[in-house]
Amino acid sequence: MSERAQFATKLGVIAATVGSAVGLGNIWRFPYMAGENGGGAFLIVYICCVIVLGIPLMCAEFAIGRKSRTNAAGALKVLAPKSQWHIIGYIGILASTLILGYYMVIAGWVVEYIYQAIKDNLFGDSATTIANNFELFKTDVWRPLVWVGALLVINYLIISRGVTKGIEKASNIMMPMLFVILLIFCGYAITLPGAKEGLTYLFNPDFSKIDGGVVLSAMGQAFFSLSIGLGILITYGSYFKRNVNLPKTGFTVAILDMLVAILAGVMIFPITASFGISPTQGPDLIFVTLPNVFGKMFMPNMWAILFFVFAGVAALTSTISLLEVAIAYISEEFKLSRKRASIIILLIVAVLSVLSSLSFSVLSEVKLFDMNFFELSDYFSANILLPLGGFLLSVYVGWRMKKRDFKLELGGNTQISTILYTLILFSIRFIAPISIIFIFLSITGIFNI
């Protein structure tokens, strides 16, 4: 067999993994969640979730990947032969492909907004026009599909080039770009008259808002934001060289991911406060509220283009990582060339994306469990498959994987301290599985605290 691909540098490892972690979740979910749920107090809770739960689980996935040096499903066939643990890999492949179906559609909306801003068409004179235009665009049959098509081609051009020349190189260029744009925005935002009010909303701690439900949402957000439980980190971990220290990498990625989420808040709240518009979350924030604010700013098109390029880059590096799970799987398990594997997976994603996109127009009434296809793929992947994958993963690494192997894998070329190892293992064995069960019960509404 030919030599397996690897990320060439440690910086490339960080850029690609942060690329996966930083996505729309950092921009449209985290800031609002923090602002609404106790500001600084929420930040403390979130940081604890990331340290106690997120980083240990990232290490668990990386370790499985690097030890087996193969794709998410193949990895557990290598490490636990004659068992059913490789089902973790299949769950990841299924979940990441389903997520791609709707993530690609939203990424497509972002590209439409870049295009409209370049054409100077984005800003009607009133807030209602902007909201209406978004509604009209979303419910159009063809327009969103054109952008999905364009994105599938862009993803193909990057991912078919392979791990080093495709994913790593693209991440090395796009991630610094993302940080630069974010810093430009933050620099501008904090000089605005509403800066103080906005930052107070984000940072002022209010511990009375913290209850069980808030802690569970913080955990869920930590999972989604760090791309845990989907086989992505197993797949990327399989491309790490031995000189990569896993806890250190997990820590660095988590810090950078958090930094982007917090800076997104530092950009959003001062500008919304300064222009007297209340902040929102989800698609409305980036496709209605912010365009509304940009429209009132000096040089609106420039700010809109910068912002949507920022969101587009964040989404693109995430779609690449989601695609890589399935592409690595079918190219390795079915011995297909990378190009062919990429085409097959992108075709599957194309079908899912068309169904998701049409959920806003002709298929809006086609429902299962009262959800259209778009909502169903989100619900089933993020609320069911993701916790299930994370749970099985923590049980496997915590209770089944040979402890010596796990410890050696964490350090790579170097030794990691016994204290650090014990803490990580404790979290993977006890804290992670128990918390995941609670998150699952709470998001599915089976149990409410």
Q: By the criterion CB under 6 A, which residues form the site for ligand PHE? A: 20-21, 23-26, 99, 224-225, 227, 230, 232, 318, 321-322
If the CB atoms of residues 30 and 421 are measured against ligand PHE, the closer one turns out to be 30
At 377, the amino acid letter reads: S
How near is the Cβ of 96 to ligand PHE at its closest, in Å?
A: 6
How near is the Cβ of 285 to ligand PHE at its closest, in Å?
A: 13
Of 103, 94, 156, nearest to 341 by C-alpha is: 156
If the CB atoms of residues 14 and 130 are measured against ligand PHE, the closer one turns out to be 14
- Please classify residue 12 by burial: count the beta carbons closer than 10 Å to its beta carbon, then call 0-12 exposed, 13-18 middle and 19+ buried: buried
The C-alpha atoms of residue 227 and residue 329 are separated, in whole angstroms, by: 18
If the CB atoms of residues 227 and 272 are measured against ligand PHE, the closer one turns out to be 227
Instruction: Give 446's contacts (C-beta < 8 A, 6+ positions apart).
Output: 440
How near is the Cβ of 314 to ligand PHE at its closest, in Å?
A: 7
How near is the Cβ of 385 to ligand PHE at its closest, in Å?
A: 11
Residue whose token pair is 């915590």: 398
Cross-strand pairs, 371: 368
Four-CA torsion 77, 83, 86, 88, nearest 10 degrees: -150
| Beta carbons within 10 angstroms of residue 224's beta carbon | 20
**Backbone phi, then psi, for 105, in 5-degree steps?**
-65, -45
Instruction: Give 231's contacts (C-beta < 8 A, 6+ positions apart).
Output: 61, 71, 72, 73, 88, 89, 91, 92, 93, 95, 96, 325, 389
Name the residue with the smallest CB distance to ligand PHE: 23
Is residue 80 a contact partner of residue 96, using CB atoms and an 8 Å limit?
no
User: What tokens appear for 296 in the block?
Assistant: 């009132």
Of 22, 42, 24, 44, nearest to 33 by C-alpha is: 42
How near is the Cβ of 129 to ligand PHE at its closest, in Å?
A: 29
User: What tokens appear for 43 in the block?
Assistant: 């930040």
How near is the Cβ of 98 to ligand PHE at its closest, in Å?
A: 11
If the CB atoms of residues 292 and 321 are measured against ligand PHE, the closer one turns out to be 321
If the CB atoms of residues 104 and 416 are measured against ligand PHE, the closer one turns out to be 104
How near is the Cβ of 224 to ligand PHE at its closest, in Å?
A: 5
Of 267, 280, 260, nearest to 198 by C-alpha is: 267
If the CB atoms of residues 318 and 359 are measured against ligand PHE, the closer one turns out to be 318
How near is the Cβ of 230 to ligand PHE at its closest, in Å?
A: 5
The C-alpha atoms of residue 370 and residue 348 are separated, in whole angstroms, by: 24
If the CB atoms of residues 25 and 237 are measured against ligand PHE, the closer one turns out to be 25
Of 1, 48, 372, 355, nearest to 214 by C-alpha is: 48
| Beta carbons within 10 angstroms of residue 393's beta carbon | 29
If the CB atoms of residues 221 and 301 are measured against ligand PHE, the closer one turns out to be 221
- Please classify residue 368 by burial: count the beta carbons closer than 10 Å to its beta carbon, then call 0-12 exposed, 13-18 middle and 19+ buried: exposed
User: What tokens appear for 306 in the block?
Assistant: 């910068």
If the CB atoms of residues 227 and 331 are measured against ligand PHE, the closer one turns out to be 227
How near is the Cβ of 220 to ligand PHE at its closest, in Å?
A: 12
User: What tokens appear for 375 in the block?
Assistant: 């909502």
How near is the Cβ of 22 to ligand PHE at its closest, in Å?
A: 6
If the CB atoms of residues 177 and 299 are measured against ligand PHE, the closer one turns out to be 177
